[in-house]
Amino acid sequence: MEKTRIKATVEAALLAAAQPLSVAQLSQLFDEQDGISQSRLGSAIAQLAEDCADRGVEVKEVASGFRMQIRAEYATQISLLWTERQSRYSRALLETLALIAYRQPITRGEIEAVRGVSVAQSIIKTLEEREWIRVLGQRDVPGRPSLYGTTKAFLDYFNLKSLDELPTLAEIRDLDQLEPEFVFPGGPDSVSGSSAAPAAPSHPDPDAATADTEGSDPSPTSAESSQEDSCQTKK
């Protein structure tokens, strides 16, 4: 099969897919007799990314594979196509998510010790429903509290290939900056497959987007049951 057709097939697949596709998944699009190796697919993906260099979309590699998405600089304009009110995550939720991302594996009690206030169950539930965190195991102490860590879905949503791409703590000067830093307009909710969506998608829980107080944390957000989808602890 000629290189141009391989590249066109990859482009069509990335536009049609609702989630990132790995090279292994893309290879399933071709028959064995085509003789399309993973190296040839990788070359086609690289060429497609180069072709998109001066376009409004880009080929982005994230934790789960590759996807085509709107470039970040156009996300604000494109978001005008959607009339839904964008969700805003509470400070408490962002603090909880940041602690899990940077200090995983971590228990709910350890999160509360750092924050100095209790973590509302609604926050953990929202993060699990969002599939941004999952239970990695239990701490071997009395009560055996659950250990939480982030998932591949977390990395995919925030446009990251690995936890090493998270901003350093020195770069996060204030928790108020976490939302713009975490809700990347290039995330899968900006554009995935053949359709686009706002950078911060609405959550099915109508109470999830409201501002929080220290004792009550209504907000939106996720648990991977597969060990393959868990993120490795940031070194």
List pLDDT tens digits, range 135-152: 999 999 999 999 999 999
**What is the structure's pLDDT at 73?**
92
The whole model's pTM is what?
A: 0.66
Task: Tell whether the model's pLDDT for residue 123 goes beyond 50.
Answer: yes
Higher pLDDT, residue 130 or 196: 130
**What is the structure's pLDDT at 230?**
42
List pLDDT tens digits, range 45-103: 999 999 999 999 999 999 999 999 999 999 889 888 887 776 788 999 999 999 999 99
Task: Tell whether the model's pLDDT for residue 160 goes beyond 50.
Answer: yes
Which three-class secondary structure string do you get for the chain?
CCHHHHHHHHHHHHHHCCCCECHHHHHCCCCHHHCCCHHHHHHHHHHHHHHCCCCCEEEEEECCEEEEEECHHHHHHHHHHCCCCCCCCCHHHHHHHHHHHHHCCEEHHHHHHHHCCCCCHHHHHHHHHCCCEEEEEECCCCCCCEEEEEEHHHHHHCCCCCHHHCCCCCCCCCHHHHHHHHCCCCCCCCEECCEECCCCCCCCCCCCCCCCCCCCCCCCCCCCCCHHHECCCCC
**What is the structure's pLDDT at 196?**
35
Q: Which of 29-38, 93-102, 179-188, 207-216 has the lowest mean pLDDT?
A: 207-216
